[in-house]
């Protein structure tokens, strides 16, 4: 039985590790320039989440400073509520970060599974987040991309904040950092000062905290429109509403965090975090012993999310370099610039088309789709991702063309006869489970579909299916849309 990584990583730094020291299991996640893989150290049998970062891409995309900044932040943050960095090493191709395994996946998946948290659960995780953000700011670090996807849960359901790729280390007593024209953050959680003034500081993290607390208590973010532009307009005007059943104490905290002027936000005023912690919502919270408090039992009753970690399986001694996340997207088969211009992200190797594109962009893609042999199967709906995969059932393996379309629909076709062979029924309970770079499962209430992508892009399929599912079923208002 594999053991979790030790609480103190000091003893593990005695000698530099190498890729050959580990056996590798399932993919835990992908970033824009990295892939996180569950791994077991051969000698100690300890488990780690190893973040593999391709040197070629961080140099090409000029992300070297970003990677070094993440490493520096992780080394500085010595607190139970943050992902622990145990070791780093590198070879000719990659950088490797050895991280603590967050066995219970993302906070977002727990919110979606619960539909919404009750007051006790919302207060517990809001308090942990406040404690973590206060500590982070005391270390002169602002996260700049706080969101439920970047809040993981450990073995005991305590938070583990991760992903410091866009974080910033502040100088002296700075409270804000001026950006150029680049965008930092995620649409639903980005602060108005970043959108208007290209600035993000401690107050920006508090704004994101307000958005997360709101989402925990009602199941959806406060700012959510048909596309990013409209979402940004809501944020700039601070236009949002509370559902009738929203808890009054939680509402008051959110109203004092979601304030246009960052200096007026609760926790960023003269009294600092003491004022936020003393709010009526947190009455009874033992701030001195918060890291050892027992999480609500309710969390353990939720269905296990698809990105939870159940342990290393299908171990291999190494992985193929070509399978790692590609920051620039898959390269077209031809190397000519003309072929690059015609590359379709919906095809077998692509990441898929976005759901929030403009009306004109959608018309253009639908026009291109008309010239394909798959258009007649789509009933006027846009193909978001397509590709040839094997569908395995028992000892039977069938090659099928899969189409993921708006609706959502996931249909499969016999590529030889061009006959529709079936459709995976899509409900709010549909989930995906990544097993290897090739193999993944689509779980429905009545059946599990075993799919094999021989182009090694199972990760991209899982990510796109999850994205589409969240778009249509992420909250009750979107059900049936």
Judge contact between 216 and 111, C-beta under 8 A: yes
Per-residue confidence at 34, pLDDT binned at 50, 70, 90?
confident
Rounded Cα distance between 200 and 178, Å, is 7
Residue 333 has a pLDDT of 33
Helix, coil or strand: residue 45 = coil
Q: When comparing pLDDT for 219 and 197, which is higher?
A: 219
Please give the share of the chain, as a percent, with pLDDT higher than 70.
Answer: 82
* Mean pLDDT on 374-402: 87
Residue 174 has a pLDDT of 58
Rounded Cα distance between 385 and 349, Å, is 9
Is residue 65 packed enough to be buried (19+ CB in 10 Å), middle (13-18) or exposed (0-12)?
exposed
What are the extents of the domains in the chain? 3-9+20-99, 107-301, 332-476
Contacts of range 270-277, beta carbons closer than 8 Å, 24 or more positions apart: 273/130, 273/134, 276/130, 277/130
Q: When comparing pLDDT for 333 and 111, which is higher?
A: 111
Q: Which runs of consecutive H residues, i.e. helices, occur in 143-282?
A: 192-197, 202-218, 228-237, 248-257, 273-277
Judge contact between 23 and 315, C-beta under 8 A: yes
Rama region for 457: left / alpha / beta (φ>0; ψ in -120 to 50; rest): alpha
Residue 304 has a pLDDT of 56
Q: Which top CATH class is 332-476? A: mainly beta
Per-residue confidence at 120, pLDDT binned at 50, 70, 90?
very high
Specify the DSSP class assigned to residue 294.
P
Domain 3-9+20-99 has CATH 3.30.565.10: no
Q: Which two tokens stand for residue 412?
A: 């499969």
Task: Using the predicted structure, report yes or no on whether residue 163 has a pLDDT greater than 80.
Answer: yes
Rounded Cα distance between 432 and 428, Å, is 12
Q: Which residues are the active-site residues?
A: 145
Assigned CATH for 107-301: 1.10.510.10
Residue 180 has a pLDDT of 42
pTM for the structure as a whole: 0.68
Average pLDDT over the chain, rounded to whole? Answer: 83
Task: Using the predicted structure, report yes or no on whether residue 424 has a pLDDT greater than 50.
Answer: yes
63: how many CB neighbours lie within 10 A of its CB? 19
Residue 173 has a pLDDT of 58
* Mean pLDDT on 450-478: 80
């Amino acid at each position: 039985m594999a053991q979790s990584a030790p609480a103190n990583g000091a003893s593990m730094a005695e000698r530099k590790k190498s890729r050959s020291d580990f056996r590798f299991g399932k993919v835990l996640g992908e970033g824009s320039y990295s892939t996180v893989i569950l791994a077991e150290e051969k000698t100690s049998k300890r488990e780690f989440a190893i973040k593999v970062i391709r040197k070629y891409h961080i140099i090409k995309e000029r992300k070297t400073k970003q990677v070094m900044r993440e490493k520096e932040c992780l080394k500085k943050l010595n607190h139970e509520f943050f992902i622990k960095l145990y070791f780093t090493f590198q070879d000719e191709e990659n950088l490797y970060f050895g991280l603590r395994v967050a066995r219970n996946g993302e906070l977002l998946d727990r919110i979606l599974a619960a539909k919404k948290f009750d007051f006790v659960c919302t207060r517990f995780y809001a308090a942990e987040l406040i404690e973590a953000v206060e500590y982070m700011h005391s270390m002169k670090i602002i996260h700049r991309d706080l969101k439920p996807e970047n809040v993981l849960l450990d073995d005991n359901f305590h938070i583990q904040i991760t992903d410091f790729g866009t974080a910033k280390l502040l100088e002296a007593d700075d409270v804000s950092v001026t950006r150029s024209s680049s965008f930092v953050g995620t649409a639903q959680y980005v602060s108005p000062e970043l959108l208007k003034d290209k600035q993000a500081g401690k107050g920006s993290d508090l704004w994101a905290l307000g958005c997360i607390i709101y989402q925990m208590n009602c199941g959806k973010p406060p700012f959510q429109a048909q596309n990013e532009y409209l979402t940004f307009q809501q944020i700039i005007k601070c236009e949002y509403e509370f559902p009738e059943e929203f808890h009054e104490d939680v509402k008051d905290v959110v109203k004092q965090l979601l304030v246009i002027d960052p200096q007026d936000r609760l926790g960023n005023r003269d009294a600092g975090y003491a004022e936020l912690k003393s709010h009526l919502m947190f009455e009874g919270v033992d701030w001195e012993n918060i890291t050892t408090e027992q999480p609500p039992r309710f969390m353990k009753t939720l269905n296990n999310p698809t990105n939870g970690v159940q342990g290393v399986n299908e171990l291999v001694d190494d992985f193929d370099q070509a399978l790692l996340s590609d920051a620039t997207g898959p390269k077209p088969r031809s190397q000519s610039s003309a072929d690059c211009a015609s590359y379709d992200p919906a095809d077998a190797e692509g990441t898929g088309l976005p759901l929030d594109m403009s009306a004109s962009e959608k018309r253009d893609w639908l026009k291109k789709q008309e010239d394909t042999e798959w258009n007649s199967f789509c009933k006027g709906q846009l193909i978001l991702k397509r590709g040839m995969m094997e569908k395995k059932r028992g000892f039977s393996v069938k090659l099928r063309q899969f189409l993921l379309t708006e609706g959502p629909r996931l249909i499969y076709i016999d590529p030889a006869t061009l006959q529709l062979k079936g459709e995976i029924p899509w409900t709010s309970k549909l989930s995906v489970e990544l097993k290897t770079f090739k193999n993944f499962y689509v779980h429905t209430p009545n059946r599990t579909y075993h799919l094999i992508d021989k182009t090694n892009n199972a990760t991209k399929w899982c990510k796109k299916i999850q994205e589409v599912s969240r778009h249509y079923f992420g909250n009750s208002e979107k059900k049936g849309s």
